[in-house]
Amino acid sequence: MALYAVLGGVRSLSSLQPSSSSAAAAAASEEVLVEGKASARAAVLNRSGHLNALTTTMGARLNKFYMSWEDNPDIGFVMMKGSGRAFCAGGDVVRLHQLISEGKLDECKDFFKTLYSFIYVLGTYLKPHVAILDGVTMGGGGGVSIPGTFRIATDRTVFATPEVHIGFHPDAAASFYLSHLTGHVGEYLALTGEKLNGVDMIALGLATHYSMSDRLNLVDERLATLLTDDPSVIDTSLTHYGDLVYPDKSSIVHRLEVIDKCFSLETVEEIVDAMEIEAARLNEDWSTLALKRLKEASPLALKVSLRSIREGRYQTLDECLVREYRMSINGISEKFSHEFREGVRARLVEKDLAPKWDPPALEYVSADMVDSYFAPLGEFEPELTLPTESREAFV
């Protein structure tokens, strides 16, 4: 899910669907720009006024460009970057909220289908991919970068998957890449929505290289001269022009023992109880804040997200995306959409920060409710189909 609006004020964002007018069509074509380099192409996410939040049109254009570039023998590798102060903060959740309220679920389904299909292309891409995560990288922003080959974090990078606080689940391949992190830090990030900086992304393996933001021009200039499709050559260049950084005393790496102790437990209730004990014992800001975030999140979203991460640990990328699509479509259905609509209302529309979750507490979230969130979509609702026979799954 795209999480642009979680970061700040709600703006009047464009629709997830392109307008039929020629002016809107022209504007939509500018939402993903292309830069040509020696043997590379760069896709530039270009909605800087909206922190490069992804639209259905952008997902379709990315799909089209990437498939064309993959088949072009003159292109050795592909890059992605964002314009302005963000890489990509995800999609337009306020617009999704509006569409659900208006009963326009098909437009929402098109958004998820288009985005998840592109993420699968990226995760199975035959050519090296370099994503420059300079700035906000949240929700779908992680999905369109982390499954690729290389990710450059910077001193401006802010990463998070805070979907549980708007009554949703970490999607866009989050259940795949979070579940494959060390220990149980994936569960921790999914259930608390904690923000990470670029150094912590390197430490956890979410990013592969680091560069100070003001040195990115050097990196870009070097990549522009490369005539290669060899990942090791690109890796060497990124390392040579990058910066060597080490976690400071506030880094998440110093909390992994406590995180694993708490977030390896079987249920959300047990995790919250364990964090209560640790927060009292440690009396440290991070544990108090993590506990607060757990208690503020949707109880249903917490239980759904915990199961999603744990299923993702034993699934391939395509299996995760198919399951996440099923979860997302169930999540916007009449049965469950209250959580998402209420979360967006409370955080982003009316901004009272007082969501009325239903169920209101963990003890009222039954196993049957969680099972229903993962249930097959039914005879008249197609599941997500991915070209697994023609593209090898990323394991």
Q: Would you name the residues annotated as active-site residues?
A: 91, 140, 163, 171
d(C-alpha 20, C-alpha 264), whole Å: 50
Q: Residue 249's CB: how many other CB atoms inside 10 A?
A: 5
d(C-alpha 240, C-alpha 298), whole Å: 44
Q: Sort strands 129-133 and 136-138 into parallel, antiparallel or unpaired.
A: unpaired
Residue 50's nearest CA partner among 80, 2, 11, 17 is: 11
Query: Could you tell me the CA-to-CA distances from 30 to 37, 80, 83, 98, 114 in Å, in that order?
Result: 19, 15, 12, 24, 18
Residue at token pair 């990013």: 207
Residue 298's nearest CA partner among 241, 369, 234 is: 369
Q: Sort strands 196-197 and 158-160 into parallel, antiparallel or unpaired.
A: antiparallel
The number of angstroms, rounded, from the C-alpha of 201 to the middle of its chain's C-alpha atoms is: 13
Q: Residue 88's CB: how many other CB atoms inside 10 A?
A: 31
Query: Could you tell me the CA-to-CA distances from 388 to 124, 147, 380 in Å, in that order?
Result: 9, 16, 23
DSSP states along 216-279: HHHHHHHHHH-----HHHHHHHHHHHS------TTSGGGGHHHHHHHHTSSSHHHHHHHHHHHH
3-state secondary structure of 162: coil
